[in-house]
Structures are given as C-alpha cells and as structure tokens.
C-alpha cells in the first residue's frame, strides 16, 4: 500500500489530502473537508488535469496578444501539445470573448476559447 500527499486545488482553502492507494484501483482519502476534495484526489491519481491559460498572437498592433483558456481541465499529457498549437496560432481580428479557437484538443473533448475580445 502506497500513501500520497496532495494539496487540493478545488478552492482557496487548500486542504491537505492523504491518499491511500489500495492496489486494486481503489483509494482511501482523508484530509478533505468537502466532497470535491475526494473527486480531486481520485482524478489526481488516475487522470490528472488542469485548466490551461495562455495568450495567442493577433494581427493587430493595438492588441498584439489576447488571452485564451481551455473550457475544462485538460489531461496532463495533452498540455504540451496544446501549448505548441497556441504559440503557432495567429488570430484575425475582430474577435469576441468566448470565441472557439481550437475544438476538441487531442480528442479530449476540451476546447480552447478566447477570454477577451478586441475590435482592432
């Protein structure tokens, strides 16, 4: 049996989680103060994911870069692939906040969207 220590990132409280790996694919979790901590702990052990934020280049001199985010947490393994795509991206303006830029990243069902619009 292996024991892992993790800090929950679901909210600013930052609970210290202790995760016991039972070896049969199940986990015993303690230290969480709400159900989100348990879900987070299991995800961290089986399929860790993060929301990715970055900026994309535009064709404008006024707002040369605009911010983007994934609309859901992305599996760790796809983050570098996404970052490479983001840095190669060139956005034509005008564009509105919420615009879909990259659909279904790495077949994860997660999308990249613009978080600030600009006219020029």
DSSP string, the chain: -EEEEEE--SSTT--EEEEEE-SSS-EEEES-SSHHHHHHHHHHHH--EE--EEEEEES-SSSSEEEEEESS-EEHHHHHHHHHHHHH-EEPSSB-TT-EEE-SGGGSS--EEESS-B--
Minimum separation from the CB atom of position 7 to another protein (A)? 4
Binding of another protein by 67 (CB under 8 A): yes
**# chain residues binding another protein, by CB under 8 A:** 29
Binding mask 15-34 for another protein (x = CB under 8 A): -x----------------x-
Stretch that binds another protein, among 20-28, 57-65, 103-111 (CB under 8 A): 57-65
Q: Which is nearer to another protein, 1 or 62 (CB)?
A: 62
Q: Count other C-beta atoms under 10 Å from residue 9's C-beta.
A: 14
Minimum separation from the CB atom of position 74 to another protein (A)? 12
Using CB under 8 A, list all residues that contact another protein: 6-14, 16, 33, 50-55, 57, 64-65, 67-69, 79, 83, 97, 115-117
């Amino acid at each position: 049996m292996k024991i892992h220590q993790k800090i929950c990132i679901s909210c600013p409280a930052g609970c210290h989680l202790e995760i016991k790996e039972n070896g049969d694919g199940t986990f015993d979790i303690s230290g969480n103060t709400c159900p989100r901590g348990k879900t987070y702990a299991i995800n961290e052990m089986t399929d860790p994911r993060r929301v990715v934020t970055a900026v994309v280049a535009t064709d404008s001199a006024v707002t040369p870069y605009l911010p983007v985010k994934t609309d859901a947490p992305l599996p760790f393994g796809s983050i570098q692939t996404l970052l490479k795509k983001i840095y190669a991206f060139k956005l034509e303006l005008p564009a509105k906040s919420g615009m879909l830029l990259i659909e279904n990243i790495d077949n994860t069902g997660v999308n990249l969207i613009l978080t600030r619009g600009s006219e020029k």
